């Protein structure tokens, strides 16, 4: 089975993008000692800087953390709620402990910002263009890895907080087995507290869901997978799938 997550708010959309980038960064520095894996990790670090630079992001995270803590207080007789409340407190403290603007220490590093600009030029980081970067790439794997971990360290509280919130979102869910006739499915209006839809399909069906959702109705259209086009053709066959409705609130209506 393969699951496609579809955010229903700009806040969740930003959270999912940032989570994706942090996970990609971690895989790139851990799973391979290749110079090119670290090159991609550095490019991903720059993507994280841009994706999470919005001034309101920190406030959005802290507001949702506080809202979740208040809900946990109402359920403090449950051991799981107490543990989650402690996690919420720790990540909030970690986020508040970072006083500077997100990624400010990286923006003040002239060498890193020069590499960032050169990466925008096709082939712009070749050895003769940026010999200092080529020298860094020749350093031992462990030294390069330590540099990358040091550069991302002050960004991690943002990722930790988002991870806790997305874990809550994914757990507060309700599953519905659905049937798309001729590749189309319509659902009545969703409850206002639904923040994400997940569509789970059999990988063998080789389909991609296209979701249109608002307060009036939800339409899911299945497209055939294509190696030549980003958006495949409309599917005409019937598809069985699972729709998962997720919310930051304890109960999904």
Instruction: Provide the CATH number for the domain around residue 142.
Output: 1.10.3900.10
pLDDT value of position 95: 87
Tens of pLDDT, residue by residue over 74-130, are 665 566 666 777 788 888 888 888 877 888 889 999 999 999 999 999 999 999 999
Element (H, E) at 196: strand 196-201
Residue at which a domain ends, from 146, 166, 186: 166
Query: What CATH number is given to the structural domain containing 238?
Result: 2.60.440.10
Same domain, 161 and 180: no
Asked if residue 217 belongs to a domain, the reply is yes
Q: Which residues of the chain have pLDDT under 50?
A: 252-253
pLDDT value of position 165: 94
Distance CA 5, CA 16 (A): 9
- Neighbour tally for 199: CB within 10 Å: 24
Residue at which a domain ends, from 166, 188, 212: 166
Same domain, 127 and 213: no
pLDDT value of position 163: 94
Asked if residue 253 belongs to a domain, the reply is no
CA distances from 202 to 92, 209, 224 (A): 38, 12, 13
Give the pair of three-digit tokens for residue 105.
């220490």
Same domain, 139 and 67: yes
Distance CA 154, CA 146 (A): 14
Residue at which a domain ends, from 139, 166, 193: 166
Contact between residue 102 and residue 158 where contact means Cβ atoms under 8 Å apart: yes
Same domain, 45 and 156: yes
| Residue 147: Cβ-neighbour burial (10 angstroms; 0-12, 13-18, 19+) | middle
Distance CA 124, CA 18 (A): 26
Asked if residue 1 belongs to a domain, the reply is no
Distance CA 1, CA 131 (A): 46
* Residue 32, domain extent: 10-166
Does the CA dihedral 21-9-193-88 come out positive or negative?
positive
Question: Quick one: DSSP state of residue 190?
Answer: P
pLDDT value of position 206: 87
Distance CA 156, CA 169 (A): 20
Asked if residue 252 belongs to a domain, the reply is no
Element (H, E) at 179: strand 173-180
Looking at the structure of the chain, the number of domains it has is: 2
Same domain, 129 and 177: no
Give the pair of three-digit tokens for residue 55.
């001034």
Distance CA 147, CA 213 (A): 43
Task: Return the half-sphere exposure (C-beta side, CA atoms, 13 A cut-off) of residue 131.
Answer: 1
């Amino acid at each position: 089975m393969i699951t496609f997550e579809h955010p229903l708010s700009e806040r969740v959309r930003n959270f999912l993008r940032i989570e994706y980038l942090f996970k990609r960064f971690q895989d790139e520095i851990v799973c391979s000692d290749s110079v090119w894996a670290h090159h991609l990790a550095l490019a991903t670090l720059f993507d994280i800087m841009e994706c999470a630079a919005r001034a309101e992001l920190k406030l959005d995270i802290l507001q949702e953390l506080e809202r979740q803590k208040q809900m946990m207080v109402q359920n403090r007789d449950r051991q799981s709620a107490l543990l989650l409340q402690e996690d919420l407190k720790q990540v909030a403290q970690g986020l508040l402990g970072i006083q500077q603007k997100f990624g400010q220490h990286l923006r003040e590093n002239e060498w890193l910002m020069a590499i960032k600009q050169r990466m925008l030029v096709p082939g712009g980081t070749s050895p003769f263009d940026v010999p200092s970067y080529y020298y860094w790439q020749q350093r031992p794997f462990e030294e390069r890895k330590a540099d990358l971990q040091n550069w991302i360290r002050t960004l991690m509280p943002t990722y930790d907080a988002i991870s806790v919130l997305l874990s809550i979102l994914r757990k507060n869910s309700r599953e519905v087995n659905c049937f798309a006739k001729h590749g189309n499915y319509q659902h009545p209006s969703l409850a206002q507290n639904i923040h994400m839809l997940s569509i789970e399909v059999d990988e063998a069906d080789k389909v991609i869901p296209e979701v249109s959702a608002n307060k009036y109705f939800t339409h899911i259209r299945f497209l055939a997978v294509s190696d030549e086009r980003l958006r495949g053709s409309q599917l005409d066959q019937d598809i069985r799938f699972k729709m998962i409705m997720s919310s930051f609130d304890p109960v999904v209506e």
